[in-house]
Amino acid sequence: MGSLLQTTQSWSSTKATRKYMLFGLLLVVAFTLHLTVSHVKRGSEDFKLSMPSMPSPPKLGRFSTQRDNLGDIYNRTLGFQKVFVMNLPERSDKADTMLLQAELTNFTLEFVDGVLGATVSPKALPLTFEHDAGTIGCWRAHMNIWRKMVEENIETALVLEDDADWDVSIQAQFVELARGSRFLLDTGSATPESPYGDGWSLLWVGHCSSEANKTDPRRWVIPHDPTVPPRGSRWHFAGHNMSRWADGPNPDPQTRVVYVQEFAFCTSGYAVTRRAAQMMLYKLGMVPFSASVDGGMGNLCKDTSLKDFRCIAPFPRLIGKSTPPGPVDRASDIQTQNSNSTTIRWKPESENVMFSVRQNLLALLNGETTFKSYFPNPSGDELTMEQITAFRGHPEYMDQPPPLLQG
């Protein structure tokens, strides 16, 4: 009995000792975990402090929803499914330039072979289509892209010619284009399939002549935009009357407007939907057609036989063009009347683009953060990207007086 009591007491003492040891071990583990978590947290904070700051996403304003896709414009295809470039295979010089321009402004191109008009069979031309070889080749190249969109189920594409030039801030510009397009398409607060809204046919961003719809008073107005060439630095045949904003007691020489368009021509750049591609294949290839390809496209903007063919455009345009150094006939593959010219262009030139990517290639290659304006700029001839992209648009109606513009 005494032995049993002694054994029981010894076992109880051992059990208590084990409890204390276990408790002590748990304290040690807890303290170690605390130190580890504190170290990781501190290290994480140090890591975050050492990371470079990323650019803020675009402010979505009235279109802001949790699922809004306006930020898709900053992806590698500018919010479209594809970005195509038409390029004759023998013009490797133009392909090199376009590739570099796109890469340095963060989007990806898909090259589509241009067409020599001499290779197009006369039997393949629409009735009454009588043009020179350059115009025929241009027409067929655009038709091929539209056919590709239909064949491959490409819902939206931006189409560029291989002498296109654009601003170093093209994404920010296209965000405002999208805001304007959504306003004109009555998108409201709904999230559209395309960041540019639903229901458009052509976003004609690279025209050289544009006429606004005469019955639609709505405008998306982007004032104080440093990327807008002022009067005297624009080249176009026809464009939106800007006196409402450019003249008066508080003139703003750098306003851009987005509007419903009823006619345009020149195709340095335009965005197109698959449905519009189907319509253009029919209207410009399967019935009598006598205009140039851009003239035919422009006519469709007001063609009442087509249901819901909607054209939207900015003025001044967003896509210009550049010409390389060399003989002047080097610039165009369509117009060849100066093919024997001995005149030399010693520097690249740009049209209708302020902070031209072509003119700022060296700065972009060197990683510089300040860019030079190609034309004299009321906002400043050398600006940072933050300064260049400080613009923001708003809706206006042409039957109302414009808001007071400062500057």
Decide: 160 and 319 in contact? Cβ < 8 Å.
yes
Residue 80 DSSP symbol: S
**Calpha distance 365→356 (Å, rounded):** 14
Neighbours of 278 (CB within 10 A): 14
Tell me: the pLDDT tens digits for 53-100? Answer: 334 445 444 444 346 899 999 999 999 999 999 999 999 999 999 999
Q: What value does the mean pLDDT of the chain take?
A: 85
13 located within any domain: no
pLDDT at residue number 375: 96
Decide: 386 and 370 in contact? Cβ < 8 Å.
no
Tokens of 173: 């510009």
138 located within any domain: yes
22 located within any domain: no
pTM of this prediction? 0.81
Q: How many CA atoms lie within 13 A of 16 on its CB side?
A: 5
Tokens of 277: 């591609």
* pLDDT exceeds 90 at position 8: no
**pLDDT-derived band at 404, boundaries 50, 70, 90:** low
For 226-242, the DSSP string reads TTSPPTTS---SB----
4 located within any domain: no
Tell me: the pLDDT tens digits for 152-204? Answer: 999 999 999 999 999 999 999 999 999 999 999 998 778 899 999 999 999 99
32 located within any domain: no
Number of domains in the chain: 1
- Domain of residue 300 covers 70-397
**Calpha distance 145→162 (Å, rounded):** 14
Based on its alpha-carbon atoms, the radius of gyration of the chain, rounded to whole angstroms, reads 30
358 located within any domain: yes
184 located within any domain: yes
Tokens of 252: 């703003």
- Give the pLDDT mean for 226-237: 92
Tell me: the pLDDT tens digits for 28-61? Answer: 445 555 544 444 344 433 333 333 333 444 544 4
pLDDT at residue number 189: 79
51 located within any domain: no
